[in-house]
Structure 1
Amino acid sequence: MSPTPRTTAQRYPERVTYDRDAAYAILDEALAVHVGFATDDGPVVIPTLHMREGDELLLHGSAFGRFMTTAAAGAPLCVTATLIDGLILGRAASHHSAAYRSVMIFGRAAPVEDERQRADMLGRIVESVVPGRLDGPNAARRPSVEEAHYTAVLTMPIEEFSMKVREGFARDEPKDDAVEAWAGFIPFTPAPGPPVPDTITGTRFTAPAYDPATHRFRQDG
């Protein structure tokens, strides 16, 4: 994809790429995105779980909430996903930073009007967060058409986007080489805790298992 005025980096352009596969890998790993839009009362940013299907994002939320009603009306959106990979420590405080991978998408979303289709999409979003959750002998109940009446789903084409990556070490200046402070990189590794069953579940069912390769909990049934 070619950069647009909105996706062209003003600072550190060497960190920016427009590679679609790389951007999709970030969107698929991230559990949530933040959606920004303008309102009469000022800008608003809403976090939400999401799912990518092909070249589209699926976003969901209350059918009667400000986010869904504003976006469904065709408001311009800015969607961001960010993964923090670690802390970058320099010898000077001004050169401390974070290692990250991020994607920014500009565009407009369209509402899914058919409630049966929405119910199916809501199920697919759940499956993207916990693969296998809606299949197998101990599967959770799938979303109903009635529930889809209260939960909206938006589809947003991934057309205008950019991806930015910060990695490596701090950009310390030569004047700070003699500062006697530790400098380097502290990596962050996803390490979720063990699943905690509710009072009805107890020990009757097998809990989802974490898959470090996909950064997801998987329900194998």
Structure 2
Amino acid sequence: MAPTARTTAQRYPERVSHDREAAYAILDEALAVHVGFGTDDGPMVIPTLHTREGDRILLHGSVHGRFVSSAAAGIPICVTATLIDGLILGRAASHHSAAYRSVMVFGRATGIEDVEERADALARIVECVVPGRMSGPHAARRPSIEEARYTAVLTLPIEEFSVKTRSGFARDEPKDDAVEAWAGFIPFGSTTGAPVPDAITGTRFPAPDAALLDRTRRQR
């Protein structure tokens, strides 16, 4: 889809792209997204876990929640995912920044009405967050039809979107070259800690493989 007024950069256009594969990579690596929408009480932004399936995003929430009921009614929404890769420090405070990768997707979501299909979608969201969780001899129980009745799943097509990234070093000005302050890049990383079992689990079952939880290695 060609850039629109909402996906065209007003500042730093060199940081913006409309590359679909880049957008998919960010959505796949992000554990959660933020969903923005308008209400009679003003704008709201709700965080939620998600998954991407092909050219669409799956979002979930309570059927009685404001986000789900509003989005299911067809109002425009904006889904945003942001990954912080580090801090960019300059010699002047005004030149400090962050290294990041982000994507914004605009559109209208559609609810999955069939409860069996919705239960399957909920299981796929869990599988996306914790690969292998819904398969094998020690898999979690799949959502029941009754559970699917009060948990909605919305689908949002990835059509109108933009990707924005920032990397490198600060844009220091020559007048600050003599400032005696450290400048450079401080990278951030994400690691998965050791799983901690609950009282019932104890040591009876194997814990999830930490390597599978590393979202930076996801390939779909």
Query: Whole-Å Cα distance in 2 between the matches of residues 98 and 21 of structure 1?
Result: 23
**Count of aligned pairs:** 218
Residue identity over aligned pairs, in percent, reads: 76
Query: Does structure 2 conserve the Cα–Cα contact (< 8 Å) formed by 1:129 and 1:216?
Result: no
Structure 2 stretches of 5 or more lacking a match? none
Query: Does structure 2 conserve the Cα–Cα contact (< 8 Å) formed by 1:130 and 1:216?
Result: no
Report the counterpart of residue 176 of structure 1 in structure 2. 176
Matched, 1:135 2:99: no
Query: Whole-Å Cα distance in 2 between the matches of residues 51 and 29 of structure 1?
Result: 10
Report the counterpart of residue 3 of structure 1 in structure 2. 3
Query: Does structure 2 conserve the Cα–Cα contact (< 8 Å) formed by 1:85 and 1:99?
Result: yes
Query: Whole-Å Cα distance in 1 between the matches of residues 94 and 216 of structure 2?
Result: 35
Query: 3-state SS of the aligned residue for 1:211?
Result: helix
Query: Whole-Å Cα distance in 2 between the matches of residues 211 and 166 of structure 1?
Result: 27
- For the structure 1 residues 74 and 116, does the alpha-carbon distance in structure 2 shift closer, same or farther, using more than 3 Å as the test? same
Query: Whole-Å Cα distance in 2 between the matches of residues 217 and 192 of structure 1?
Result: 13
4+ runs of 1 displaced by more than 6 Å?
A: none
Structure 1 stretches of 5 or more lacking a match? none
Matched, 1:19 2:50: no
TM-score normalized by the length of structure 1: 0.96
- For the structure 1 residues 79 and 129, does the alpha-carbon distance in structure 2 shift closer, same or farther, using more than 3 Å as the test? same
Query: 3-state SS of the aligned residue for 1:100?
Result: strand
Query: Does structure 2 conserve the Cα–Cα contact (< 8 Å) formed by 1:58 and 1:154?
Result: yes
- For the structure 1 residues 4 and 150, does the alpha-carbon distance in structure 2 shift closer, same or farther, using more than 3 Å as the test? same
Query: Whole-Å Cα distance in 2 between the matches of residues 83 and 123 of structure 1?
Result: 25
Query: Does structure 2 conserve the Cα–Cα contact (< 8 Å) formed by 1:131 and 1:217?
Result: no
Query: Whole-Å Cα distance in 1 between the matches of residues 47 and 182 of structure 2?
Result: 35
Q: Which amino acid aligns with 2:36?
A: G
**Aligned-pair CA distance for 1:208:** 1.1
- Residue deviations 1:18-74 (CA, integer Å, cap 9, x gap): 000011000000000000000000000000000100100000000111010000000
Query: Whole-Å Cα distance in 2 between the matches of residues 208 and 42 of structure 1?
Result: 41
Within 5 A, what are the aligned runs for 1:178-193?
178-193=178-193
